[in-house]
Amino acid sequence: MLNLTEKFREMKQRGEKITALTAYDYPTARLLDESGIDIILVGDSLGMVVLGYEDTTRVTLDEMLHHTRAVSRGVSKAVLVADMPIHTYATPEQALATARQFVEAGAKAVKLEGGVSRSGEIEAITGAGIPFMAHIGMLPQHVREEGGYKVKGRTQSEVEALLADAQAVQKADAFSVVLEIVVADIAKRITQSIEIPTIGIGSGENCDGQILVTHDLIGLFPWFTPKFVSPEARVAEEIRKAARAFIERTRGPGALSNRDGSD
């Protein structure tokens, strides 16, 4: 754990931006790993972009372990982090047991949502020598309670809570912390206030690194794209084009005339 923690702290000190993307299957993981990405996250966002759920609150441990195993087969250089799904870290004992299952599935580190309120669970994980990535700000597993995906850090009480969360996860030995949908100026303030790197998603450019859902980055989930994402590709449209070309080729006059019933 110390080597991983030192690696990312040193990147922060050098001003070297950390890059992270999600993967849920072997080919995507292998492509990202070959690209030189620093961190590959098996995110519970797979609930929406892979499994078709409305949000992440229905994702199960078995589903996350299944996808972690697949991704691990394609990763040789990047740090593979796995999300711990909702209802799998209610106590320090449960959190550690869950984390160990992810390590057995091939993850090099785990992530769960929460700061101060989850200090005990985080300490149980890091105390057992399992590297840990924290996640504060907007917590997708609480989206139903909060009534949507809301920007954090707009009020003084939220700012104070975020700063306390950042200090808490650092004290609990997290090697980095994801800041999700935090007001940019507050994300910058948090970044400057702690020694571990911040990795932003929808939290401005002043974090120590950035993470995105790969499906958003490459335009593979066209039915919804977050406002803070500018897709670098339009993979969904390319798939549609390829499928249409196959349909037209298969149904074309030549294909029909060649059907002699022998197949």
**Which residues are identified as catalytic?**
180
Strands 109-111 and 132-137: parallel
Q: Could you tell me if 116 and 168 are in contact, meaning their C-beta atoms sit under 8 angstroms apart?
A: yes
Enumerate residues 6+ apart whose C-beta is below 8 A from 187: 137, 153, 179, 198, 200, 203, 204, 206, 207
- Rounded-to-integer distance, Cα 217 and Cα 60, Å: 25
Tokens coding 188: 């910058």
Residue whose C-alpha is closest to residue 197's, from 1, 6, 2, 3: 6
Residue whose C-alpha is closest to residue 181's, from 225, 219, 226, 239: 226
Tokens coding 184: 């940019």
SS3 of 132, please? strand
- Rounded-to-integer distance, Cα 181 and Cα 200, Å: 8
End-to-end CA distance of the chain: 58
| Burial classification of residue 17, based on how many CB atoms lie within 10 Å of its CB (0-12 exposed, 13-18 middle, 19 or more buried) | middle
